[in-house]
Amino acid sequence: MSDKTILVWFRNDLRIRDNEILLEAVRKADKVLPVYCFDPYYFQTTATGGHKTGSFRARFLLEAVADLRKNLQAFGAELLIRIGNPAGIIPLLAEEYHVSEVYHHREVAYEETRISEQVEAALWKMKLNLKHFIGHTMYHKEDLPFPIKDIPDSFAVFKKKVERESSVRPVVPTPDHITVPEIADAGELPTLHQLGLTEPVDDPRATENFQGGETAALVQLHKSLAGIDSPAKQKGKNGNDASTKLSPWMSIGCISPRQVYWETQKYGNNGNLLKLELLWRDYFRFMFKKHGQKFISAKNQAAELAADQNALFEKWKLGETGVPLIDAAMHELNATGYISNQNRQIVANYLVNTLKADWTKGAAYFEEKLIDYSPASNWGNWAFIAGVNDAKESKYAIATKLPKELEAKTDFVLTWQPSSIDEAGDLVEA
């Protein structure tokens, strides 16, 4: 009898640890074929002349895929890298390597699910199954105290029920071996140039040096949690910053929210405050699963649009509004691909409610620029700020006013923090 081979289609789960599809494939098959596709869809030029994926995120992704390949090679395995539409590539590889099943982690946002539907349809014609796994959230969908259709739209209610009635699963073991078939052509990692991008210029003012990959993610995890129980790192008190800066790695799955959760649990109450942030992340993903695109398009933007909103948007994106804080934050975003949560809220709120420009332009601009872009988190947060969904009762902590003391700050000098955030994640007035 011939060997059974399972193709593991890596997407936003670029890791070996706590990766259920990899572990299951190793357990169920004799051989595993790990594959990553650089889909040109994500590297296209947008209607406004920008890039769907900016160069900071693309470089980070290239580093992450290279690191995954290196880590698989340490097992004597290999990662096949291809450039092209997965709906064309996956079936071809499945045929070439006599694959009996394909595994992947299911996504929630529209574009990602559309791509997997196309792959599924192409495999179906070959009588092959695309098996969907759930693995992007801290709480497993099956462990929630309600079916997806009944998930409360209010974050506060969601949080209360989940924390009371659900628990986070342990991480899954790392495989002890990974056997791949004989591979004729593993494929080269593309260059940024091949993806239609140029090398980003690193700004010396950047506070972080984000290096893609599971290896760097684990270093960042331990670095960011070191001293979490010290008073200086306590979140939400006196504006101290306990931000982990893990989001770029979490967005493409170099580390899982479960791994972060279990590590934070070693730190008592401070770990629990970080759990709250992870819960927000889960919430947005579950909202997309429940409502689909309706979550971000249920209503029109609350504020009426300005007649010159296109010109105002251009000024906003270049950091030329004349408001020092907004301009500094946008310069930082453009120069580094990262800004803090508070600054994201401030610039988004300013675009929507002060400039009265179309929020979807801001969200699309963040999609290009953010190194940690994640569809549910980005579009979900923007939709909240624009007031286009019905989740208002979530008491989401949106910074609505520009703090006066920041008006004199220069580029990248962004010290303002909310006076305090309570345990529910809400802003507390000074």
Q: Which residues are annotated as a binding site for FAD?
A: 243-247, 277-284
* CB-facing half-sphere around the CA of 19: CA atoms within 13 A: 29
Nearest distance, CB of residue 89 and ligand FAD, angstroms: 26
Cβ proximity to ligand FAD, 67 vs 372, nearer residue = 372
Instruction: Tell me if 309 sits within 8 A of 358, measured CB to CB.
Output: yes
Nearest distance, CB of residue 173 and ligand FAD, angstroms: 24
Cβ proximity to ligand FAD, 19 vs 251, nearer residue = 251
Alpha helices for 74-150 (secondary structure H) = 86-96, 110-125
According to DSSP, the β-strands at 31-38 and 80-83 are: parallel
Q: How far is CA 329 from CA 19, 270, 325, 420, 421, in A?
A: 35, 27, 6, 21, 21
Instruction: Tell me if 123 sits within 8 A of 91, measured CB to CB.
Output: yes
Cβ proximity to ligand FAD, 178 vs 255, nearer residue = 255
* CB-facing half-sphere around the CA of 158: CA atoms within 13 A: 27
Cβ proximity to ligand FAD, 259 vs 377, nearer residue = 377
Neighbours of 39 (CB within 10 A): 18
According to DSSP, the β-strands at 80-83 and 420-421 are: unpaired
Nearest distance, CB of residue 168 and ligand FAD, angstroms: 14
Cβ proximity to ligand FAD, 250 vs 296, nearer residue = 250
* CB-facing half-sphere around the CA of 394: CA atoms within 13 A: 25
Cβ proximity to ligand FAD, 35 vs 370, nearer residue = 370
For residue 102, give the nearest of 115, 114, 88, 91 by alpha carbon: 91
Residue 102 in 3-state DSSP?
strand
Nearest distance, CB of residue 269 and ligand FAD, angstroms: 15
Nearest distance, CB of residue 307 and ligand FAD, angstroms: 24
For residue 335, give the nearest of 138, 201, 154 by alpha carbon: 201
Binding site for ligand FAD (CB under 6 A): 243-247, 250-251, 274, 277-278, 280-281, 284, 340-341, 344-345, 348, 366, 370, 372-374, 377-378, 381-382
**Amino acid type, 195:** L
Cβ proximity to ligand FAD, 26 vs 370, nearer residue = 370
Given CA atoms 251, 417, 426, 353 in this order, what sign does their dihedral have? negative
Cβ proximity to ligand FAD, 169 vs 245, nearer residue = 245
Instruction: Tell me if 338 sits within 8 A of 370, measured CB to CB.
Output: yes
Nearest distance, CB of residue 132 and ligand FAD, angstroms: 22
For residue 351, give the nearest of 396, 402, 393 by alpha carbon: 402
Nearest distance, CB of residue 164 and ligand FAD, angstroms: 21
Cβ proximity to ligand FAD, 119 vs 339, nearer residue = 339
Nearest distance, CB of residue 324 and ligand FAD, angstroms: 20
Alpha helices for 292-354 (secondary structure H) = 309-318, 324-336, 341-349
Nearest distance, CB of residue 425 and ligand FAD, angstroms: 8
* CB-facing half-sphere around the CA of 357: CA atoms within 13 A: 23
Q: How far apart are CA 285 and CA 157, in angstroms?
A: 16
Query: What is the 8-class DSSP label of residue 352?
Result: I
Q: How far apart are CA 103 and CA 3, in angstroms?
A: 17
What tokens appear for 430 in the block?
């000074």
Phi and psi for 35 in degrees, rounded to 5?
Answer: -135, 140
> Binding-site residues, please?
243-247, 277-284
